[in-house]
Amino acid sequence: MELKEKDVLVVGMGKSGLAAVQLLCEHGARVEACDNRPLEQLKEAASVLAACNVRFTIQSAASFRGRDLIVVSPGVPADLPELKEAQAGGTLVIGELELASWFLQGPVIGITGSNGKTTTTAMTGHVLKACGIPCQVGGNIGTPPTSLVQSSRPGQWNVLELSSFQLETIRRFRAQIGVVTNVTPDHLDRHHTLEAYAAAKARLFENQTAEDYAVLNADDPICLRYAATVRGKTLWFSSSKPVTPGLWFDGENIRLGGEHVIAARDFPLRGRHNLENAMAAAAAAHLAGAPVAAITAALKCFPGVEHRLEFVRAVRGVSYYNDSKATNVDATLKALEAFPGGVWIILGGKDKNSDYRPLREPLQAKAKAALLIGKAAPIIAEHLGNAVRQIPCGDLASAVEIAARDAEPGDVVLLAPACASFDQFESFEHRGRVFKQLVGALKE
């Protein structure tokens, strides 16, 4: 679509929306911005919009009428009635990812999944850079896709972490290598059903050709369903059985077919789920041209990702781990798998219509207590029943204080909330930073 002199509305003034505004202005569009919050509450928006000479309005039904194009940020529900009305009237509605794809140069590695996509994205970028393969990393991991357009170039890989919110509004976006780590219930407050959520993830493969690749988890039932419909070639990974073609974990080593990639003892991250992430990243990097020996060397020195099973410090023999990015039940289950027992787990935040009952058995086996915080605390308490000792804490500071008081040497205090953060924090990153500050302030 030619953007010059087109009347474009950008909805949502977070990082993605502001990046979209800037790209649209660079291409000569007449841009207006809206959000359901007043401009005084939007920290960065005022200066960016002023610099671009873009008018801001509070979001209303009138905002959506008479536009040539509407670009929505990932946080804006795609089924918003105003968007449906605009589409029915002939207005093109796309997301920020789709807008970026119109101008992004170079091939794309798109990585999605309910859990592990951030770690896998960061690891893929780390491996490619270590192998001397040109790439840039962004998407849901921090840098909006539209912000990558200017630095993109032919022959350079764009490694993008992609959420279901980003994928549900694509039209022509294409990933030459598409990776799905797993699909488990998440964001049901937005997508309503697991089927709708899985369908949004599946759009990653919608525009692939026979020359493209799908990297899929052979242990995940929904990924197995995806394989029946992808147009490209499939490369598998599995932590439970040999797969062909693909990578698998034999109990001690990751292998690519019959070739050794890395021993579990040489990989720096804890947990079987991180071995799965390593296989997904190694698969994507190998398809992008990285040789196995170089992948091995890069995996051995991967530093990990902040807020993802991140060791904070040990105080009086108690180890503190920040897994603030565990924003759903499956992620919390994976975090628990990394520890043999003695866990004081901090759970709670903003509920996403989740079922917390799958946590009962592992908490009964491994946890000394569940420290409950945030708005979801009563729901979690009801779902857990008497499976584990429950301590209502209200907020994160109280949870850390109680855990520090009662935990014994050898125990683990784990922030793995199984919830979104938006009831008490700006983001999971904000929640993780506050946790680290609280732990940092504990006295030996």
Q: Which of 15, 187, 273, 307 is catalytic?
A: 187
Distance, in Å, from the CA atom of 9 to the CA atom of 32, rounded to the nearest integer, reads: 5
Among residues 53, 40, 46, 55, the alpha carbon closest in space to that of 10 is found at 55
Give me the torsion for CA of 298, 326, 333, 123, rounded to 10°. -10
Q: Which residues have a Cβ under 8 Å from the Cβ of 81 and sit 6 or more positions away? A: none
Give yes or no: 286 in active site: no
Tell me how far CA of residue 28 lies from CA of 19, 23, 100, 146, 401, in angstroms: 15, 9, 15, 15, 54
- Work out the number of other CB atoms within 10 angstroms of the CB of residue 431: 28
Angle between helix 117-130 and helix 272-287 axes, rounded to 10 deg: 50
Q: Which of 117, 286, 352, 436 is catalytic?
A: 117
Give yes or no: 187 in active site: yes
Q: Which of 15, 115, 126, 140 is catalytic?
A: 140
Structure-block tokens of residue 216 = 């899929």
Distance, in Å, from the CA atom of 369 to the CA atom of 381, rounded to the nearest integer, reads: 12
φ, ψ for residue 71, nearest 5 deg: -110, 120
Among residues 308, 274, 281, 276, the alpha carbon closest in space to that of 296 is found at 281
Dihedral sign from CA coordinates of 288, 290, 295, 297: negative
Contact 96, 11 (CB under 8 A): no
Catalytic site positions? 117, 140, 187
